[in-house]
Structure 1
Amino acid sequence: MNLYDSLLKYSEAGYYPMHMPGHKRNSRLLAMCDPYSIDITEIDGFDNLHRPEGILKVGMEAWSDLYNSRKTYYLVGGSSAGILTGISACTSRGDKVLVARNCHKSVYHALYLRGLEPVYLYPPVMKEFGINGGISVEQVEEHLKCQGDIKLIILTSPTYEGIVSDIRAIAAAAHSYGIPLMVDEAHGAHLGFHKGFPETAVRLGADVVVHSIHKTLPAFTQTALLHINGHLVEEEKIERYLAIYQSSSPSYVLMSGIEKCLELLKNNGIELFESYEKMLCGFYQEAKGFKNISILTDNTVTREGFYRFDPSKLVLSVKGTNMTGKELYEVLLHTYKIQMEMVSKDYVLGMTSIADRQEGFDRLLAALKEIDRRLGKETTTDRVMEYAPPKAVMSCEEALNAPFKEVLLSNSEGFISGEYVYLYPPGIPLLVPGERIEKELLTQITSCQKQGLSLQGLADYSGNTIRVISI
């Protein structure tokens, strides 16, 4: 069976999507003609993405007005194209940048391509759930005081699990040094549209913001937006790198989906967000009755000293029970036909959007109530593993271009890594080329493997060997 037939079969199988894309395959909310009938190239009357003067320019200006940005650009290569563009436009080769360690792998690709020197900000860990917290303004200010030559600050907010950093304060700190702030807000395109959600970084002072509208809004996979603000970012450079990192033949089907999303937000956004927020509140209220499953809430986040939480992310933990996150994920998928977004050691993550239906929340809630009743408590002595800064022996660029050899992962302690190791999703690297493989990190990597979590980046798909520098 080919991919197309497999997709059709899956769409008819009754699985509910608690995952991206944000359109949730909701055909009642979103209708479209046969995509082949509107699949064109840059013909007369339909503008050019890389030199917009007509219909595309009007659409991008409308998005700019909606988010209150200085300028907004369409992305048809996902947020990755925007992240590569933003970092490249704001730096020169070899510059030093302040970057959150829990950034997406596309940030690391940009560091490699531009030969940048990263100074890492390590997010603290929320011990109750074992997830990364937000970056504080105090962390940023401390580095800015010590590092006099930082050219750009790069953060992810919200995180994959919905933790939001204090972007307003961090932007103010960055600007006091004349440094631009870039925020990967890929998972926050819906922010700022309703009081029940945090404000968007676009309106909080960030100079470059990237949105994956396909993640949390009703739009096709691969569609995104890049916003710029202030005077620290040059439009000419942004547009130069957009032409490099995006296809010269952008999909008009994808771009039409971006504009259908815009139309939906402008015409029905208020009522859709009201209904969505009401469904979310109902879910969280019912989840208070769980005896064994824990759900992350704004109260939990603020109690642990972090800024805000995006309630669109359903973080469901079974830590301290006789079930693992992987087992919960599998039961939801195979018994209840609910496909979650991501699984980790102790929790599963569900992604929601304005395209969700009450049916989806009801199905998930009923499933979780049944599972919760069957769960038992179990004492755990597992230690929360925080990001320990691996020692960078050489730059990422040097390591990727250096001679290498393959060794057993289990015997790699002390070697210098010649490749990435990502926990995917969300694509955050546990190990970056050029960093020394320490015992504690190796233990963390092998632990993830034993739990059946998806580790990527290794050339050896089996995960038995790793490339290390041979000089």
Structure 2
Amino acid sequence: MERLYRKLENYGKSDYYPFHMPGHKRNPESSAAAFPFERDITEIYGFDNLHYAEGIIKEAQEHTAQIYGTKRCFFSVNGSTAALLAAVSAAVGKGGRILMARNCHKAVYHALYLRELEPVYIYPHEDSRLGINGGISPSRVERYLEEHQDVQAVLITSPTYDGVVSDVKNIAHAAHKFGIPLIVDEAHGAHFHFSKYFPTSAAELGADLVIQSFHKTLPSLTQTAVLHVCSDRVDLEKIKRFMGIYQTSSPSYILMASIDACMDKMEQDGSRMFGEFTERLENARRRLMKCEHIRLVRPEMLDSTSVYDYDRSKLLFATDGTSVNGKQLHDRLRNEFHIEMEMEAEKYVLGIAAVGDTEEGLNRLCDAIEQIDRQTEWVDKEGKEEKEGCSYAKMKQLLTIAQAMDAPQKRFPLEESIGKVSGEFAYLYPPGIPIIVPGEQVTGHFVRNVRRYMEQGLEVQGLSDSTSETICVAARNEGLQEIDSPVKE
């Protein structure tokens, strides 16, 4: 088959002159920096159109679906965000209800707002020491569906940002028992398909819509993602419509070619690449597990339920009970060893290993962790549980997200907002999971969490006040009886 990325390379070397967008006209001298302008084109003859794919882009999407064994595949150049927005919008009617894990990415909550949906939350159990979420229990999904039979879809995140995988097969079975689709945010699991060292992809376990970020764990450019359609439970025309709504009308050919090149590389050389990568990764994990103070997190260490499986490419380093916290470890790795990690949390640091990692890179990480470990001491070896450390304590939802965000807003200092209804989001980024959602009641626990995060130098985002000293609340909070459409119980 003709490859999009090859055709783009060849076109960049041709003598065609562009009297069309983009404005750089494929002239590298038009910019102050070096970019691949020669491959940056618009929808011209022979290169198809993402929103009406009939030629080379259609073939590239079909090739990706063939590799993953799915019915259809849609490219997303707006990342998993656009794919999640489209999946939720297509699966749930406007104003409908969705059963979703409370630890979903903020993009899912934005879909709730845009479509005026009402969520029914399942809260994953949280490890009391590290604050890491567990998985979602199939039996709880079934129980919630029995109690809320107007729910139109189920949505979970698996793997989580920290690598925890849920029992997707049985969750899908529970959803299908009630005749509704399962959407799985598998943004961090695009690599699962290519090695049995990793958990099985949700696309192979009965999920109906599966969203994957290629750029997170595969050799593909930032913003590249796909939406896999694995069944006929969600209307295909609706998926097409919403993918067109949530993506730019001028999709980047460089990004689409990146997806195509990634799939070609995986098909031709993926087995060898992943064989070598998993061997390097396992050797690094064995070495890191020998550290005494900075501990590599393993599933058996988590005081959490429903950890059905675990993605070992997620390298979590626990610091609880030691003389360093997560931020300090993160800063030392960056400043002293020039190693940039994915995320810092209160009591751990997350690094993501991927097939593009070299042996030299993994060895550098091991050397750095071992050196810091030798310089670290125990402060509280027992790691006493901190009850106030729970990030996603169950919140009371008094208004829908749309009602709260569209209501008149009034700003209050955090401590004075307790008992009122939040009019905005707050979350730690990354990973972008809300710690409060518009429509939820502000609690003292939430305020103390925000203060604690700020004291440790962690980044609280979402609040319109970038200092995180105030929060906007729904102005009619004191008279909730005035709200015409209360949240269903």
- Flag whether TM exceeds 0.5 (same fold): yes
Amino acid of the structure 1 residue aligned with 2:37 = Y
Contact 1:97 1:154 in 2 (8 A): yes
Q: Work out whether residues 299 and 307 of structure 2, in 8 Å CA contact, stay in contact via their aligned partners in 1.
A: no
Shift in Å at residue 305 of structure 1? 4.9
Query: 1:288, CA displacement in angstroms?
Result: 2.0
Which residue of structure 2 lines up, in the alignment, with residue 12 of structure 1?
Answer: none
Give a deviation string over 1:242-268, Cα, whole Å, max 9, x none. 110011110001111111111110111
Aligned to 2:31: none
Shift of 1:128: 4.2
Residues of 2 paired with 1:67 and 1:391: CA distance?
40
CA distance in 1: counterparts of 2:337 and 2:94, whole angstroms? 51
Structure 1 counterpart of 2:426: 421
Alignment partner of 1:433 out of 427, 430, 438: 438
SS in 1 for 2:194: coil
Q: Unmatched 5+ residue regions in structure 1?
A: 1-32
Are the aligned partners of 2:83 and 2:243 in contact in 1 as well (CA < 8 Å)? Answer: yes
* Residue in structure 2 matched with residue 8 of structure 1 by the alignment: none
Deviation at 1:147, TM superposition (A): 1.0
- Tell me by how many angstroms 1:393 deviates: 1.2
> Is it true that 1:409 corresponds to 2:414 in the alignment?
yes
Work out whether residues 124 and 386 of structure 1, in 8 Å CA contact, stay in contact via their aligned partners in 2. no
Aligned mate of 2:451, from 446, 449, 455: 446
Match of 1:28 in 2: none
In the TM superposition, 1:369-388 aligns within 5 A as 369-379=370-380, 381=384, 382-383=386-387, 384-385=389-390, 387-388=392-393
In the TM superposition, residue 298 of structure 1 has moved relative to its aligned partner by: 4.2
Q: Does the Cα contact within 8 Å between 1:301 and 1:308 map onto a contact in 2?
A: no
2:25 match: none
Q: Is the 8 A contact 1:301 1:309 kept in 2?
A: no
**1:183 is aligned with what amino acid?**
V
CA deviation vs aligned residue, 1:263-307 (integer Å, no higher than 9, x gap): 110111001100110011101111121110111224445996510
Using the alignment, how far apart are the partners of 2:305 and 2:259 within structure 1?
Answer: 37
With over 3 angstroms needed to count, the CA separation of the structure-2 counterparts of 1:305 and 1:457, relative to structure 1, is closer
SS of the aligned residue for 1:82 comes to helix
Which structure is higher in RCO with an 8 Å CA cutoff and minimum separation 6?
1
Match of 1:148 in 2: 149
Q: Determine the structure 2 residue equivalent to 1:456.
A: 461
CA spacing shift, 1:430–1:367, aligned 2, 3 Å = same
Measure the CA separation in 2 of the matches of 1:327 and 1:276. 29
Quote the residue 2:122 is aligned against. Answer: 121
**Shift of the alpha carbon at 1:71?**
0.3
* Equivalent position amino acid for 2:268 in 1: N
Q: What is the CA-CA distance between 1:355 and the residue it aligns to? A: 0.4
Moved over 4 A (4+): 301-305
Mapped contact 1:301–1:307 kept (Cα < 8 A): no
CA distance in 2, matches of 1:309, 1:60: 29
The structure that has the greater radius of gyration is 2
d(CA) in 2 for partners of 1:425, 1:313: 14
Listed one character per residue, the Cα deviations across residues 172-223 of structure 1 (whole Å, up to 9, x for unaligned) are 1110110100000001110121110001111111100111000110111001
1:42 alignment partner AA: E
Letter in 1 for 2:89: S
Which deviations, in whole Å up to 9, do the C-alpha atoms of 1:21-65 show, x marking residues without a partner? xxxxxxxxxxxx962111111111000101111100110011001
- Deviation of 1:127 after TM superposition, in Å, equals 2.9
Mapping of residues 45-194 of structure 1, within 5 Å = 45-194=46-195
Q: 1: CA distance between counterparts of 2:447 and 2:152?
A: 32
Q: Deviations over 1:137-181 (max 9, x none)?
A: 011011011111110101000000000001011001110110100
Distance 1:373 1:68 in 2: 47
CA-based RMSD: 1.4
**Secondary structure, aligned partner of 2:50:** coil
Q: Partners in 2 of 1:305 and 1:400 — Cα distance?
A: 33
Residue aligning to 1:232? 233
Task: Report if aligned partners of 2:125, 2:305 keep a CA contact under 8 Å in 1.
Answer: no
Q: TM-score, normalised by structure 1?
A: 0.91
2:39 corresponds to:
38
Query: Structure 1 residues 265, 172: closer, same or farther in 2, change over 3 A?
Result: same
> TM-score, normalising length from structure 2?
0.88
Checking the alignment, whether the CA contact within 8 Å between 2:127 and 2:303 is kept in structure 1 is no
SS at match of 1:266: helix
The separation in 2 between residues aligned to 1:55 and 1:295, in whole angstroms, is 44
Report 1:161-310 matches (<5 A).
161-300=162-301, 305-310=306-311
